[in-house]
Structure 1
Amino acid sequence: MKRILLATCAMLGLAAATPAFAAGPTDADLMNDAASTGDVLTYGMGPQAQRYSPLKTLNTENVAKLVPAFSFSFGGEKQRGQESQPIVHDGTIYVTGSYSRIWAVDSRTGEEKWQYDARLPDGIMPCCDVINRGAAIYGDKVYFGTLDAKLIALNKETGKVIWSKKMADYEAGYSFTAAPMIVDGKIITGNSGGEFGIVGKVEARDANTGELIWSRPTIEGHIGQLNGKDSTMTGKLNASWQGDMWKQGGGATWLGGTYDPETKLIYMGTGNPAPWNSHLRPGDNLYTSSTLAIDPATGEIKWHFQTTPHDGWDFDGVNEFIPFDLKKDGKVVKAGAKADRNGFFFVLDRTNGKFLSATPFVSKITWAKGFDKKGRPIYDPANRPGNPMEAAQGDTKGKSVFSAPSFLGGKNWMPMAYSQDTGLFYVPANEWGMDIWNEAINYKKGAAYLGAGFTIKPLYEDHIGVLRAIDPATGEIKWEYKNKAPLWGGVLTTAGNLVFTGTPEGYLKAFDARTGQEVWKFNTGSGIVGSPITWEQDGEQFVAVVSGWGGAVPLWGGEVAKSIQHINQGGSLWVFKLPKA
């Protein structure tokens, strides 16, 4: 059939292009995703993940008229946290759901085209709910990861499996929940499982075959791989880890990364060191709680910046690093920004990792008093949880401290957005603290490897979540919106002067990007912990978001979880547009 169509094109003098039904996004299409408006091809709406759309058909003047176009139910009884961001291509929405499921949905009618459910073993060990954050698309394939640490490529038209690759041993605590990323024909992945003493990795596979090209461990002392052979050691053995603690050092890359076509670098965040009990692992514990800049061709680390050296609070460092051009003092700097779980908003030179600034974006930070000119935290020693080895006789716990933010972070996984119009970052923040203490712990394969206990508490009676607009040049908060429950969903901003985000109470809300005024809301029936997107189709602008309450807050939230336990779970894709005149 393909040959007949090509021959017909030749006879008619038409370009011998691949038929539309067989074509798929190319490398160039993915790199242009932030500028193209008729699709959403990448997690973050562009490789840099600014989550900004140049569309302005929908704006502050008419957004109040926004209504549902359709809702697609994920069905069944697997209604757990739905943290996905949809992908849109050629009239099809690809969306993942809890328990490692994925659907292809007609973007005009909401009808299902196909569904694929991964067959999960009984022994999976997800730390923070059975979530999945999204898929990737390239050529004729869509890709997504599973809770038993597999990477699967499906035919985008049929949903049939093309290949499936085991990434790691799920029985040791590994899993995979992030959206994969495509760079130069390679599919880039991280891993999850930091609470089980795994070793974080960033890996690249051939997007066509799934074969491993390179692997880069994120913990010092481990050896990388390149083209089937051992390559270089990550860092230097025992440079920042004592004894054998590096062997189960954590540093999971569980959120995935961003890519900058200008610097040609992958930016990947790394998670907490293991165990949480920091007294067992003196030193900075590289490269945990860091941002790594990685060469996509070889997997070599080009620079790193550690946001919480010797992390003792599970502050992690996986938060997305978003490239942008910083305009300050009459100069333009190729910069990147990161709102870290530790409560500080970081701006770095993205070409070399040079520290530019760190400013608080939450109201209370107890673990550090700030950062010095070299980018090192100025610790408050009294706020580190105590060493259980120094506890009174008969007591198995170290001294408990009250620390803010809590380990769920000033900002957790939920991605922020950057507006090219306002020059502001829109950060979904949370105001909470925790009582935290250390305990003795030994590593055991497949068992939790914490060595700590905790209780999370809200800081204020009237709100926990706060959406904040931050000027990266000064760290100044331009406006904020306070929400009763925690904010746990991603953010979208548009040239229509709009900012969208969801709430656990079920609302998708729109705000004026310059003033913070709420200009629209719609209740989806369950809490929103997904990331909204927008695209243009048939001359109209659409907005979509996944609804379904869950994630880490109900599981780990302590007193906070008790206060919001009434929120119903769910699982559905909502799509909105303006009604035709």
Structure 2
Amino acid sequence: MKKFFHSSTILVGLSAFIASPLLAAPEGPTDADIANDAKSTGDVLTNGMGLQAQRFSPLTTINATNVEKLVPAFASSLGGEKQRGQESQPLVYDGTIYVTGSYSRLFAFDARTGEEKWEYTARLPDGIMPCCDVVNRGAAIYGDKIIFGTLDARLVALNRITGKVIWNKKIADYAAGFSFTAAPMIVNGKVITGNSGGEFGIVGAVEARDVNTGELIWSRPTIEGNMGTLNGKDNGVTGKVNSSWPGDTWKTGGGATWLGGTYDPETNLIYMGTGNPAPWNSHLRPGDNLYTSSTLALDPDTGVIKWHYQTTPHDGWDFDGVNELIPFNAKWKGKEMKLGAKADRNGFFFVLDRTNGKFLSATPFVSKITWATGYNSKGRPIYVDANRPGPPTTEKGTSVFSAPAFLGAKNWMPMAYSQQTGLFYVPANEWGMDIWNEPVAYKKGAAYMGAGFTIKPLYPDYIGALRAVDPATGKIVWEYKNKAPLWGGVLTTAGNLVFTGTPEGYLKAFDAKTGKELWKFNTGSGVVGSPITWDQDGEQYIAVMSGWGGAVPLWGGEVAKAVQHINQGGALWVFKLPKN
């Protein structure tokens, strides 16, 4: 016997089916989730494993007593021929691992099996001008979106489930030398970005966009004399015109914000590092050249600079100042304070009062520094004038040997802070350089450096050194020396562990208190990404990207020759303890 249904019954049933929670559009991480990322252990929602980027996990399932048993859970290949410089930090949410790859690609992998869910590859024009390899350092996640930047200076938001484009916005003109390599940051519904291209005479900037539309909210140039904006209207000149830049030099001053920043909810400030002044030839731009080679503290709602601290005024060695300022709370001379720490490319480890930028200390974290003997009580470097490259005449100026090299005592690779030990774990490098100045004139889209250089190792047995630094004293508590440079980020956990990778292909684990090497695994290519950890289905996982590249093989001089045998690659490796 046939059964007939009234049309209203069908409509009611269909409506209920459409409204089912199983079919509802996934909402995804909220501002509250992102703010809690450092404490939550079931996901990784931010670059830095928390907006303060301490890269510390409270997880203890994997610890110093059992890490030697760690084994691969799976490895997922990025495939293709685009295997260069995998510097990304993965994100994890709702059973999916998101990771960016070289040449502006974004992948979604199943967090339990490693199976690829989708891949997005940006269509890059032929004229891109990345300074230091075709790298990308990670994405940001919010709601139904996963957001990342591209080498042609665009910001792209994809649906995190399907990988389809939601919006795609131009950050800057790639033909003028701009690019974008950092991981974006989400602060209260705004996407915070910087830019890359300091070697091309661009003007650095920090910008905020609406996370749902990609529309610009505010922009703050990092070079004095350039106008900021808020909601499409002028919002004041950065600094004061010609205060620290002569003539028109502020129009091509560099100061790229190419590493991204950190955010501190306790002070409601964004901390963003700025890069080298342009050109490298410091004799063409007398003065401090604000706000290059600095840390800026910005209001997240307006982009107004609340304070700044310049680590290398009148930088003549390409030391930059982009290195991350990590907020932490500790006693300073008996008083509980809100502090910030920064291991600068110039070789000094800084501690500041992060509420106002007041200088507290600067101590060396490498063995040889030739450009300055230290810092005075006001936080100004005490220069060694003879170690500044000389002014060029018709060809090149006087060459000097300087340490550290321009690739830095610490380059882009992020350090970590342990809430358990109170130590910072800094991936450092010991190298120097012959450097000299050359005549140069600005031309849009052309390299604007005015310097030449050759990088050389300082010691025959090692270049890289993972160092545990006590911020209260500047003392190096322990160190691990590595033959090749260290170029990857650091992770530390409450399990008394520190993880980092090496160009030789190893992911390694160390005792956080003593520095004893406890475990290592060779991934088949150099590890220059940042490891993460999370728990899932009752187990703790460790993940890291493998794929040799970055600035060292391109700019490393004699050092590059020493590591030219390392194979390139592109794979996400995930580890856990055996169930038995």
What TM-score range do you get, normalising by the shorter chain? over 0.9
> Taking structure 1 as the reference length, what is the TM-score of the superposition?
0.97
1:163-174 matches, within 5 Å, as: 163-174=167-178
Q: 1:210 deviation in Å?
A: 0.4
Provide the rounded CA distance (Å) in 1 between the counterparts of 2:23 and 2:466: 45
1:330-479 matches, within 5 Å, as: 330-389=334-393, 396-479=395-478
Q: Does 1:552 align with 2:564?
A: no
Provide the rounded CA distance (Å) in 1 between the counterparts of 2:552 and 2:380: 30
Q: Name structure 2 gaps, 5 residues minimum.
A: 1-12
Q: Name structure 1 gaps, 5 residues minimum.
A: 10-17, 390-394
Provide the rounded CA distance (Å) in 2 between the counterparts of 1:423 and 1:489: 21
Q: The residue matched to 1:370 in structure 2 has which SS?
A: strand
- Specify the code of the residue in structure 2 equivalent to 1:248: T
- Specify the code of the residue in structure 2 equivalent to 1:580: K
Provide the rounded CA distance (Å) in 2 between the counterparts of 1:433 and 1:8: 63
Q: 1:2 deviation in Å?
A: 11
Summarize the Cα distance change of 1:426–1:20 in structure 2 as closer, same or farther, 3 Å threshold. Answer: farther
- Cα deviation, 1:190-224, whole Å, max 9, x if unaligned, reads 00000000000000000000000000000000000
Provide the rounded CA distance (Å) in 2 between the counterparts of 1:517 and 1:162: 47
Q: The residue matched to 2:16 in structure 1 has which SS?
A: helix
- Specify the code of the residue in structure 2 equivalent to 1:373: S
Q: The residue matched to 2:119 in structure 1 has which SS?
A: strand
Provide the rounded CA distance (Å) in 2 between the counterparts of 1:40 and 1:473: 29
Provide the rounded CA distance (Å) in 2 between the counterparts of 1:326 and 1:554: 39
Q: Which of 169, 191, 202 is the aligned partner of 2:195?
A: 191
Provide the rounded CA distance (Å) in 2 between the counterparts of 1:20 and 1:301: 41
Provide the rounded CA distance (Å) in 2 between the counterparts of 1:170 and 1:124: 6
- Cα deviation, 1:230-282, whole Å, max 9, x if unaligned, reads 11000000000000100000000000000001000000000000000000000
Q: The residue matched to 1:388 in structure 2 has which SS?
A: coil
1:280-291 matches, within 5 Å, as: 280-291=284-295
Q: Which of 19, 26, 31 is the aligned partner of 1:22?
A: 26
Summarize the Cα distance change of 1:378–1:163 in structure 2 as closer, same or farther, 3 Å threshold. Answer: same
Q: Does 1:4 align with 2:16?
A: yes
Q: Which residue of 2 aligns with 1:151?
A: 155
Provide the rounded CA distance (Å) in 2 between the counterparts of 1:344 and 1:212: 36
Provide the rounded CA distance (Å) in 1 between the counterparts of 2:402 and 2:471: 26
Q: 1:6 deviation in Å?
A: 9.4
Q: The residue matched to 1:30 in structure 2 has which SS?
A: helix
Provide the rounded CA distance (Å) in 1 between the counterparts of 2:16 and 2:220: 46
Q: Number of residue pairs matched?
A: 568
Please tell me whether the aligned partners of residues 216 and 300 of structure 1 are also in contact (alpha carbons under 8 angstroms). Answer: yes
- Specify the code of the residue in structure 1 equivalent to 2:515: G
Q: 1:331 deviation in Å?
A: 1.8
Q: Which residue of 2 aligns with 1:37?
A: 41
Please tell me whether the aligned partners of residues 34 and 46 of structure 1 are also in contact (alpha carbons under 8 angstroms). Answer: yes
- Specify the code of the residue in structure 1 equivalent to 2:437: N
Q: Which residue of 2 aligns with 1:482?
A: 481
- Specify the code of the residue in structure 2 equivalent to 1:485: A
Summarize the Cα distance change of 1:3–1:538 in structure 2 as closer, same or farther, 3 Å threshold. Answer: farther
Please tell me whether the aligned partners of residues 30 and 47 of structure 1 are also in contact (alpha carbons under 8 angstroms). Answer: yes
Please tell me whether the aligned partners of residues 54 and 494 of structure 1 are also in contact (alpha carbons under 8 angstroms). Answer: yes
Q: Which residue of 1 aligns with 2:574?
A: 575
Q: Does 1:96 align with 2:90?
A: no
Provide the rounded CA distance (Å) in 2 between the counterparts of 1:453 and 1:8: 64
Q: Which residue of 2 aligns with 1:258?
A: 262
Q: Which residue of 1 aligns with 2:140?
A: 136
Provide the rounded CA distance (Å) in 1 between the counterparts of 2:52 and 2:15: 38
Provide the rounded CA distance (Å) in 1 between the counterparts of 2:141 and 2:221: 25
Percent sequence identity is 81
Q: Which residue of 1 aligns with 2:531?
A: 532
Q: 1:327 deviation in Å?
A: 1.9
Provide the rounded CA distance (Å) in 2 between the counterparts of 1:110 and 1:363: 42
Provide the rounded CA distance (Å) in 1 between the counterparts of 2:130 and 2:69: 40
Provide the rounded CA distance (Å) in 1 between the counterparts of 2:489 and 2:15: 44
Q: Which residue of 2 aligns with 1:14?
A: none
- Specify the code of the residue in structure 1 equivalent to 2:284: L
Provide the rounded CA distance (Å) in 2 between the counterparts of 1:534 and 1:261: 23
Provide the rounded CA distance (Å) in 1 between the counterparts of 2:73 and 2:434: 45
Please tell me whether the aligned partners of residues 2 and 19 of structure 1 are also in contact (alpha carbons under 8 angstroms). Answer: no
Provide the rounded CA distance (Å) in 2 between the counterparts of 1:304 and 1:142: 31
Provide the rounded CA distance (Å) in 1 between the counterparts of 2:380 and 2:15: 62
Please tell me whether the aligned partners of residues 326 and 472 of structure 1 are also in contact (alpha carbons under 8 angstroms). Answer: no
Q: The residue matched to 1:542 in structure 2 has which SS?
A: strand
Provide the rounded CA distance (Å) in 1 between the counterparts of 2:552 and 2:367: 20
Q: 1:329 deviation in Å?
A: 3.0
Q: 1:577 deviation in Å?
A: 0.3
Summarize the Cα distance change of 1:439–1:253 in structure 2 as closer, same or farther, 3 Å threshold. Answer: same
Q: Which residue of 2 aligns with 1:13?
A: none
- Cα deviation, 1:42-61, whole Å, max 9, x if unaligned, reads 00000000000000000011
Provide the rounded CA distance (Å) in 2 between the counterparts of 1:267 and 1:132: 20
Q: The residue matched to 2:306 in structure 1 has which SS?
A: strand
Q: Which residue of 1 aligns with 2:322?
A: 318
Q: Which residue of 1 aligns with 2:70?
A: 66
Q: 1:20 deviation in Å?
A: 7.9
> Taking structure 2 as the reference length, what is the TM-score of the superposition?
0.97
Please tell me whether the aligned partners of residues 274 and 450 of structure 1 are also in contact (alpha carbons under 8 angstroms). Answer: yes
- Cα deviation, 1:267-322, whole Å, max 9, x if unaligned, reads 00000000000000000000000000000000000000000000000000000000
- Specify the code of the residue in structure 2 equivalent to 1:244: D
Provide the rounded CA distance (Å) in 2 between the counterparts of 1:417 and 1:215: 29
